[in-house]
Structure 1
Amino acid sequence: MTDKSPDVALADRFFEDFKKLKSEISKVIIGQDEVVNLMLTSIFCQGHSLLVGVPGLAKTLLIQTIASALDLSFKRIQFTPDLMPSDILGAETIDKDRNFKFIQGPIFANIILADEINRTPPKTQAALLEAMQEYSVTVAGQHFPLERPFFVLATQNPIEQEGTYPLPEAQLDRFLFNISLTYPSFQSEVDIVKNTTTDEKPKVNHVLGAKEVMEYQHLVRRVPVADNVIEYAVGLVHKTRFESEKAPGITKEYIEWGAGPRASQSLIIAAKCNALINGKYSPDIEDVQAVALPILQHRIVRNFKAEAEGITIAKLIEDLL
């Protein structure tokens, strides 16, 4: 971006609006700064996120608050073993004149919370993942585009695995980020208890609408990137593949499958947004490193030796960085 480029002014506006968004969200969500950053980054990158955390960490409240601050429509879908694709997409019914009429399902909203996505069978999971990829649904041979912007936040509970259907690696790859939600600090939890045990409810003001969100999504795509940054991102992904000439010893020893080309694309698009939210006009290697963990951790499969020795994927990514 040059000094006279209109994109520079837009980038400056985005930087200020992002700060306003964070300020509004922090009225309700306390002590999850990094998670909020990643969620908003995912939206502005036109991506989707998988949020992994134990119950009671305000996952639903978080996404509702973001939807309010962005003035976007929000729907929550509780995934259960008996959920059918039509419960998500909608179905055709016959009206009083005996004509077929399509009744839209909850997928027709800007922001979708897919709560406990791994509790429903693969057939139903696939119905959601098709919408994530194509931004449209097909029901009874009819094609229905989804309203943009469209963002899916899927949650998983990491401690209760009985009766679940884990997402296959190919489907996990559709998510831009895999975000780990941890317990709040002592002081944050004190503040949470103070804020949530009274009748007073903080009001979240609208900061952006759908039009502005899409404008910023296109801005992120236009951010220029130096060749050495792209080469660093692609090189990092190649380091996760044991058959690559760039693979170090730890990859060959502990990784069964590495990340695919979508990981390289994700690293660059997320690095672009990370640069903008930090007041820069172009990403550098530090921006790639900042988003590497949530992008790579669901795209790498450890081998048996790594599992037996307790080597986590996060530790492997840290070593690769």
Structure 2
Amino acid sequence: MSEIVLGVAASHSTLMNTHWAETYHKDRAERFRDALGTARNALAAARPDTVVLIGSNHFRGFWLDLIPSFTIGVDECVASGESGTPKGPQPVDRELALHLAGDLVERAGFDLAFSARLQIDHGQSHAIQYLLDGLDVDLVPLVVNVFAPPLPTLARCEQLGRALREAVLAFPGGRRVAVIGSGGLSHRLPWPDWREPHGDDEEFMVGAWRNGRENWQDYDIRRREIIRAAEASLNPEFDDEFLTWFEQGRADRVTGFTTQELEKTAGNGAQEIRTWLMTAAMLDHAPARRLAYEPMPEWLTGMGVAVIDPAERTERQS
């Protein structure tokens, strides 16, 4: 049988790579970066064979011609490499990935999409860059749709996390598995609802999402300009409350939000906390340890890092 040895949840921002020099809250930025390093060291100490990497899509790996709610990579996986993130083929644990895809259908009733040639973007490769730096591990990439409504509900994401846990534990290959959830916390991107764009910038964005499969790089300069022109919209109070739930092993409380309520409270980018919720569920909602929280308006995002070590709960119970 296999075991889940650690969970890590962390925010991502490519502005760490491209605009570090323009970052004026350097103390906050350095604390967040240091927390990523601490989480990376915890992963190294846990000695995983494989990492289930749960992340979002920013329309550089999926486009509006096909948007599944959940997609698991079962063979080839290529990172798009935008904004200084890793580029090119990534190692996939094909045996475990195929087991998860099959087990979720046959035993848990989840009809996930799968890809034998998955392209990921910084929604996952940012974690590869900072949390898996120098670690010799294979991946099972799982992409969650958080930006192209209709989105999977928070409750459905939590249920999938629990089903993934059971599928991992049932795998006979004896894997040591870690889980990473990448995304969040509160932030608002200048992205339209693709069903109802307003104005030139929103029309441009939706056009990029519809037509960018073969030439997404051609849209990137203006995309970045639109994002850089946006005003920050953070909700540190919500972020702190959610992190407190995470620490208490009660992340499932966020399932009380509808998709619309979550966006109103914490921005469209907060939909990425689905990846944190799924990570918590895969760790059976063991209490987490908060490593950092830094509101970063110049990165448009509330940046958090937390670690879930199931051994710590076992020690407290004994």
Give the TM-score normalised by structure 2: 0.28
- Structure holding more strand per residue: 2
| Higher RCO (C-alpha 8 Å, min separation 6) | 2
Flag the structure with larger Rg.
Answer: 1
Give the TM-score normalised by structure 1: 0.28
